[in-house]
């Protein structure tokens, strides 16, 4: 009976360890990078932007060798007669890139404030015009990190 328990437990242990997340000295392993696309940045249509939910984009990470130098915020604009997408160039993306590169917090939250947040549609581009969609890193309650929201607010200020 002990041999059969070991035979069952050993494959289960192998399966469980195969699903574990690797941990690097600087924190949890990065999530898989989002796709880097060729230029130019293309905002989605108003219909696509409205239908995108929070689960549409699972990660805010981009490849480690991708160095953004510019960006665009695609904002849904509504008037009484129509709905359209406005592309707003981001200014001084350096602080925003630094804030977006922060890792999301992990672990179980103690208590969370309930409030809604919709990830803005942000695309960052490198010097060659290749771009990727990014999202804010989040805290344990899945709320965006304050540094990221503040850097985004500053980068979208009209001059």
pLDDT tens across 66-88, in order? Answer: 899 999 999 988 899 888 899 99
Residue-level pLDDT at 159: 57
> Domain limits at 98?
31-155
Residue 26, in any domain of the structure: no
Residue 25, in any domain of the structure: no
Residue 3, in any domain of the structure: no
Residue 87, in any domain of the structure: yes
Residue-level pLDDT at 35: 66
Name the 3-class secondary structure at 124: strand
Read off the pLDDT band of 5 (50, 70, 90).
very low
Query: What is the average per-residue pLDDT within 81-102?
Result: 91
Task: Tell me how far the alpha carbon of residue 20 is from its chain's centroid.
Answer: 21
Residue 151, in any domain of the structure: yes
Residue 147, in any domain of the structure: yes
Residue 95, in any domain of the structure: yes
Which of 59-63, 83-87, 129-133 has the weakest average pLDDT?
A: 59-63
Q: What total number of domains does the chain contain?
A: 1
């Amino acid at each position: 009976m002990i041999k059969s328990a070991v035979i069952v437990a050993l494959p289960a242990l192998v399966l469980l360890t195969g699903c574990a997340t690797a941990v690097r000295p600087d924190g949890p392993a990065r999530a898989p990078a989002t796709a880097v696309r060729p230029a130019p940045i293309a905002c989605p249509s108003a219909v696509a932007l409205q239908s995108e939910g929070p689960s549409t984009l699972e990660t805010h990470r981009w490849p480690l060798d991708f160095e953004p130098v510019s960006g665009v915020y695609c904002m849904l604009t509504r008037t009484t007669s129509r709905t359209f997408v406005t592309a707003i160039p981001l200014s001084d993306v350096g602080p925003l890139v630094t804030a977006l590169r922060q890792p999301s917090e992990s672990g179980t939250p103690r208590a969370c404030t309930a409030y809604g947040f919709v990830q803005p549609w942000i695309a960052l581009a490198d010097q060659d015009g290749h771009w990727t969609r990014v999202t804010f890193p989040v805290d344990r309650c899945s709320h965006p990190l304050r540094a990221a929201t503040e850097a985004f607010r500053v980068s979208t200020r009209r001059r």
